A and B are shown apart, each in its own frame.
Chain A
Amino acid sequence: MIKQGFSLAMLLISPLLLASQTAEQLYSTAGGYGCSACHGKYANGAGNVGGNIRGASFEQLQIAFEQQPTMQLLGKSLSDIQKMKLIAYLDELSNSELLEWTIDLEPESNELELTTSKPAQLVIFNALLEPVVVDLSPLGGPNSLEIAAYSSHDWQWLPTPGNYSLTVGTRRLTLVVPQNTN
């Protein structure tokens, strides 16, 4: 059942990702450093100054380029078409529900509950200074995914109701997918 859900999710998500590859590249390289420098690899903020910009509108982007001193020069270097590509990419990201899990020194049990029936994107940030191995098989993923020291990795899947548990050493994340989500 999980594998079927996963396959369906990939059928839904993969064409979108492929179609927007150029936009994703632009997101990670604009200005040389990429929007990711201030907004995180997945536009999720990731503790950086720019914060989460998933789903931002063209108008919001224009205002930021005009009013944020650190963004004004970048705004002038991008064409309207490039800006629209960025917006399309941010819109595509917002079509997935973002779930974030930070693996840090303090072993913790975390629980995240999904609130929509959208495809989900789990972003795992390994804040440790050594690699960790995560078993993503409960979500239809690899059973030993290595995440490098101080790196992020994402996993997208189509949630079906139930509880899913991921562990790294003594750290545990429980994902709760309710029966009725909007």
Chain B
Amino acid sequence: MNRLFLSIIAIFGLAGSAFAQVTSIELYKSPTCGCCKEWAKIMEEKGYTVNIHHQQDWTPIKQKHGMPPQLQSCHSAVIDGYLIEGHVPESDIARLLKERPDNIKGLAAPGMPQHSPGMARPGDKYKDFKVIAFDDQQHLSLYQQY
């Protein structure tokens, strides 16, 4: 019985440490953009570790991950191999990391939606924007509608 209990603890421990590894975010932003920091703050509050990199042009990162250019926002983030462009809510990222679909390369909240995380006032409901998924052929699909 004790052995079974220890095995369960060990399995959950391994799963926990694996999750801890994927919560690290590499955030690529321009030094002059203020709103990206607000998005980073929200992600940190949700338990992610955010490593911020400053540079004006992050096109190579976006291209490397096959992001369609029309989905561009002010910042890009790489989380466990997925590209997250712009002010994507944490709940969508958590779902992506949990489900890990093979046909999605990343998510984007194109442009600068007023009522998105980091842009909306704290406590306000997210609304009036789409989170769009893209695959390795640059096909788009609706991931979440706010």
Determine whether the beta carbon of A32 is less than 8 Å from that of B110: no
Once bound together, how far apart are the Cα atoms of A49 and B38, in whole Å?
15
**CB-contacts of A133-155 with B (<8 A):** 148-151
B71 at the interface (CB under 8 A from A): yes
**CB-contacts of B87-116 with A (<8 A):** 110-114
Interface of B is mostly: loop
Q: A129-B132, A150-B110 are in contact. Are A33 and B30 (CB under 8 A)?
A: yes
Nearest CB of chain B from residue A47's CB, rounded to whole Å: 7
Once bound together, how far apart are the Cα atoms of A52 and B95, in whole Å?
34
A161 at the interface (CB under 8 A from B): no
B interface residue count range (under 10 / 10 to 19 / 20 to 34 / 35 or more): 20 to 34
What residues of chain A lie closer than 8 Å to B74, measured between beta carbons?
Answer: 33, 37-38
Nearest CB of chain B from residue A147's CB, rounded to whole Å: 10
The stretch that binds A, out of B9-17, B18-26, B41-49, B52-60, is B52-60
Once bound together, how far apart are the Cα atoms of A48 and B119, in whole Å?
10
B63 at the interface (CB under 8 A from A): no
B142 at the interface (CB under 8 A from A): yes
Binding site for B on A (CB under 8 A): 29, 31-33, 37-38, 40, 46-50, 69-74, 76-77, 129-130, 148-151
Q: 5 A-B Cβ contacts within 8 A?
A: A32-B32, A33-B73, A77-B31, A149-B140, A151-B70
